[in-house]
Amino acid sequence: MPAGRIVVHARGFGFVELDSGETAFVPPPDLLWFLQDDRVEARVVEGADGRLTATEIRLVSRARPEVFGSIVSRHGRPHVRVDREVGNADWPLVGDAPPEGSFVVAAIEDRALRALRTIDPADASLERVIVRYGIRQEYSPESLAETPPAVSMEGRRDLRAVPTITIDAPSSRDLDDALSVFPAAPDGAIRVLVSIADVDAMVPAGSALDREARVRGTSVYLAGRVIPMLPRALSEDALSLLPGVDRPAMTAELRIDPEGSVRAIDVYPSMIRSHARLDYDGVAAFLDQGDSSAIPAPVRDCVRWLRAAAARIAVTRRARGGVSLLREEAYITLDEQTREPMQIGARTNTSAHTLIERLMVAANEAVARWLVDRGLPGVFRVHDAPDARSVGILAAWAHNFGFEPGFGPELTPLGLSAFEEQFATSSIAPAVSNVLGRALGPARYTVHPSLHFGLAAPLYLHFTSPIRRYADLAVHRIVKAFLAGRRDLHAGDEALEALAVDLNKLARRAAKAENERVRMLAARLFAGRVGETFRGNVVALKPFGLVVQLVGMAVTGTVATESRAHSIGDSLDVRVSSTNEDLGRIDLVVSTL
């Protein structure tokens, strides 16, 4: 029988996404004991209308070991009402039953559940997201018991006396990138040292800690909780580039000429010591207003020269096109005691964010080129150019927003940059960026080096965040192996491609969980704003209606309608009619006022 995976719809029905690429409908009664992403086999029947229906569905394997839900009573017996994004049945509970109404995480035992732990109502939506997406929270006992190896100076360049800084958000604990700079030489070249935490030094390949990191793939940043890829004792302490302590690093030294070209790169293991931990707001105040109150005197010249280097890089970036990586996103402030959302707004990036983004992108590009020049394998970051159909659709959407891109038959990185220049300062820039991102599609990991279209980078990879991303750690290991004398490494490694495929899945899962958490909190906050009217733009058309992004908030809501009178980019006044926190949904109606 054909095989595939279960897709659950919150309205009670579902589908089997078949391996063949086809989709078969599953009516509610046949979906009862199946959960999202379960692997199944089924008999597929084609109806008179050509629609496929799955019958005689047989479970092959479960996609998850546990579910989130609430305790309800059915016929006098305790049941768990499973998260409706995961399953559409109330499952019987075996073992000890918490009081009715309690939120629980429960283990799956055939067609029953056993409560593992009760969840505080204040954390219910957070736990719902974590369990819904199978985000691993606990570390294996073997990984926690493992003692990281001692790190020596052998084979490392001693950079501890070089003024070095980190620039992060005040709340960040996993500091994995630091910067140093040497002022311009007589020929005008600036040397920038991008030093990245040497995770491999304490997490050897094949160790229990490495296996734990590999199965996670990435840290997950949920509003109110960070679930790190590595245990906090490493990610926030032993590996974190904290000020005043010696840390092993991998340093990418870039030589940037006066016109912004990276003329040379050297990559090597190092030992560094951060001289100052700076935050984005303090650095932005120094760069934009000359306010040096948050910048220690010994590193002020360092910040100025880093600004000069980043400005040079910006010139070359603009000359080749592409778009900025920095995007306006929803930022939700939580009450520290109640964990309730207090306010939501669009978090914009400062000049300090831009400085860091430019230098990190430059380091990632330079390391990618360093690997390819030596015929080495890598986990590259590739972003395909859009095809002609996608370009035409994007041009139509841009027109609806009030812009005239005039792309022609082919969209180039410079053409993309020229389009971004039109809307960059507009009040609806977040909505246009949302639509642009959908049109261009996501980047992906692969061992096959190629263009990153969005950045207009001939070669690109991730090197600068190995505490947070396994892809970066894999790249570090390749670099270190070559520097240690290995010459049996070859481009296109099949094992690395398998790793890249897995990391793509893990990154998508993390992104979905992070976005879902924001949507849930937004829905909880907007429950108190039912009846209020907002201005928004249509950013997507769905079978159920419209997705509208509210101006100034980076928050979307849905308008249920069968009408096709609206198009992507249309500006609407909408009123909040209801919310559903569990589904992360804000329901809107078009205002007639």
Counting beta carbons within 10 angstroms of the beta carbon of residue 235, is it exposed (0 to 12), middle (13 to 18) or buried (19 or more)? buried
Host H or E run for residue 330: strand 329-334
Strands (E), 143-245: 157-158, 165-168, 177-182, 190-197, 220-222, 225-227
Residue with tokens 């897995």: 502
- What is the distance of C-alpha 324 from the center of its chain? 16
For residue 179, count CB atoms less than 10 angstroms from its CB and return exposed for 0-12, middle for 13-18, buried for 19 or more.
buried
pLDDT(199) > 90: yes
Dist CA 586 CA 593 (whole Å): 20
Fold of 530-590: OB fold (Dihydrolipoamide Acetyltransferase, E2P) (2.40.50)
Q: What's the half-sphere exposure (Cβ side, CA atoms, 13 Å) at 588?
A: 28
Task: Give me the residue label for tokens 């001692």.
Answer: 150
Name residues whose C-beta falls within 8 Å of residue 494's C-beta, 6 or more positions apart in sequence.
447
Average pLDDT over residues 24-31: 94
Homologous superfamily (CATH) of 3-61 is: Nucleic acid-binding proteins (2.40.50.140)
Across 336-424, the runs of DSSP E, i.e. the strands, are 341-347, 380-382
Nearest Cα residue to 496 out of 469, 478, 482: 478
In this prediction, residues 24-34 reach a mean pLDDT of: 94
- Cβ–Cβ < 8 Å for 213, 230: yes
The answer to whether the beta carbons of residues 536 and 330 sit under 8 Å apart is no
What's the confidence (pLDDT) of residue 147? 93
Mean of pLDDT values over 178-186: 98
> How far apart are the C-alpha atoms of 19 and 13, rounded to whole Å?
20
Per-residue model confidence as pLDDT tens digits over 206-258: 999 999 999 999 999 999 899 999 999 999 999 999 999 999 999 999 999 99
Compute the average pLDDT of residues 256-271. 97
Task: Name, in order, each residue with C-beta under 8 angstroms of 490's C-beta and a sequence gap of 6 or more.
Answer: 375, 376, 377
Q: CA-CA distance, 196 to 254, in Å (whole number)?
A: 14
Report helix angle 208-216 to 470-483, nearest 10: 130
Q: How is 2-62 classified by DSSP, letter by letter?
A: -EEEEEE-TTS-EEEEETTS-EEEE-HHHHTT--TT-EEEEEEEE-TTS-EEEEEEEEEE-
Spatial CB neighbours of 180, under 8 Å, sequence gap ≥ 6: 159, 162, 163, 164, 165, 192, 193, 195, 272, 302
CATH 2.40.50.140 domain range(s) in the chain:
3-61, 530-590
What mean pLDDT comes out for the span 449-461? 96
What's the pLDDT at 534? 95
**pLDDT tens string 293-325:** 999 999 999 999 999 999 999 999 999 999 875
When pLDDT is cut at 50, 70 and 90, the band that residue 327 belongs to is low
Looking only at the bridges linking them, the beta strands covering 157-158 and 262-273 are parallel
Mean pLDDT, the chain, as a whole number? Answer: 94
Please report, rounded to a whole number, the percentage of residues in the chain having pLDDT higher than 70. Answer: 98
pTM: 0.94
- Provide, rounded to the nearest whole percent, the portion of the chain with pLDDT above 90: 86
pLDDT of res. 326: 47
Residue 427: per-residue pLDDT: 85
Average pLDDT over residues 330-338: 82
User: What would the pLDDT profile of 502-553 be if each residue is shown by its tens digit?
Assistant: 999 999 999 999 999 999 999 999 999 999 999 999 999 988 899 999 987 7
Which pLDDT value is given to residue 33?
93
* pLDDT (tens digit per residue) in 368-407: 999 999 999 999 999 999 999 999 999 999 999 999 999 9
pLDDT of residue 429: 87
Q: What pLDDT shows up at residue 328?
A: 58
Give the pLDDT band of residue 564 (cuts 50, 70, 90).
Answer: confident
140-172: b or e for each residue (b if 16 or more CB lie within 10 Å)?
eeebeebebeebeeeebbebbebbbbbbbeeeb
